[in-house]
Structure 1
Amino acid sequence: MLAAAQRLRRREDFAATIRNGRRAGRGALVVHFLNPGSLRPGVTSYSPASGPSGASAVSGRDVPFDGGSLDSGGLVGSAGPVSVTGTTARAGFVVSKAVGNAVVRNTVKRRLRHLVRARIADLPAGSTLVVRALPEAAQARYDALEKDLDAALDAARRPKSRGGRR
């Protein structure tokens, strides 16, 4: 089980990570990783509902962003300011009905939570991680999920190459 401070719970946090973070898929998993310190140069604000330097769809306001970590002023959402400390990384999980019935989905989530719990301390402070399980995760063995997660995390954290696709 992840500590409460390490879990993503709000829809806006999931959306911000998926829209603005780096994506990497390996095997039965897709990982979305957002490190606030690695946003584009020149980005001065961060809004969870619309991303960097855009007006929030929820509140209509931007939240100041100092370029290194989200300030303790928090993110503004429909429930008011939410304190986001830069001391811990946070993670969330997406397991759709395509993976299987409720028993299978909960088993997959438990396995993923256990795997992420051992790796969350290695993530940069203030970063967010969303792990999305693909239907193949239902039949995947624990060690296969572990390899997929490690490979996807490495790929998502790796800096972008300068060259384009050819």
Structure 2
Amino acid sequence: MLPPAHRLTDSDSFRRAVRGGRRAGSATLVVHLWVDPTGVDGPVEVGFTVSKAVGDAATRNRVKRRLRHLTREHLPSLEELPGRAALVVRALPAAASASYADLGADLGRSLERVSRA
């Protein structure tokens, strides 16, 4: 579970990250990162999107749990970003059949690419 300070909950922040942020993808997920360097420093807020295309409710929940846990491991490196940041992790249908290790590798590569840009 992510700490409450790191949860992205309002739809405006989701929209801003997806439409205005940098994007990097892989076979199982797409990562959107929006950074406001002029904003007050604060914790990175993270949100997840898992559509019905991924699978039934049990499958979607399993994918969300895995992504939440994997993202929590990457929070310290994301805290180094200047200013305020919002991260949205969108699962693709291939995430349903991907192993935990594959999801972790895809998330790590995508976060590295989006953070460098």
The TM-score range, normalised by the shorter chain, is over 0.9
**Counterpart check, 1:114 vs 2:72:** no
Q: Which residue of 1 aligns with 2:51?
A: 96
Q: Return the TM-score normalized by structure 1.
A: 0.66
**Counterpart check, 1:87 vs 2:57:** no
Kindly indicate whether the alpha-carbon contact (under 8 Å) linking 1:90 and 1:120 is maintained by their aligned counterparts in 2: no
Kindly indicate whether the alpha-carbon contact (under 8 Å) linking 1:89 and 1:121 is maintained by their aligned counterparts in 2: no
Q: Aligned equivalents of 2:109 and 2:49: distance in 1?
A: 18
What is the RMSD computed on CA atoms of the aligned residues? Answer: 1.0
Mapping 1:1-166, distance limit 5 Å: 1-37=1-37, 68-70=38-40, 86-123=41-78, 124=81, 125-159=83-117
Of stretches 145-154 and 117-126 in structure 1, the one that deviates more from structure 2 is 117-126
Q: Return the TM-score normalized by structure 2.
A: 0.93
Shift of 1:158: 1.5
Shift of 1:27: 1.7
In terms of fraction of residues, the more helix-rich structure is 2
Report the count of equivalent residues: 114
Q: Runs of at least 4 residues of structure 1 off by over 2 A?
A: none
In terms of Rg, which structure is larger? Answer: 1
Stretches of structure 2 lacking an aligned partner (at least 5 in a row)? none
Shift of 1:120: 1.3
Kindly indicate whether the alpha-carbon contact (under 8 Å) linking 1:2 and 1:117 is maintained by their aligned counterparts in 2: yes
Q: Aligned equivalents of 1:117 and 1:12: distance in 2?
A: 22
Q: Aligned equivalents of 1:141 and 1:34: distance in 2?
A: 28
Question: Alpha-carbon deviations, 1:95-142, whole Å to 9, x = none?
Answer: 000000000000000000000011112112521100000000000000
Question: Alpha-carbon deviations, 1:140-164, whole Å to 9, x = none?
Answer: 00000000001111111122xxxxx
Residue 147 of structure 1 aligns with an amino acid whose one-letter code is: A
The share of aligned pairs that are identical, in percent, is 46
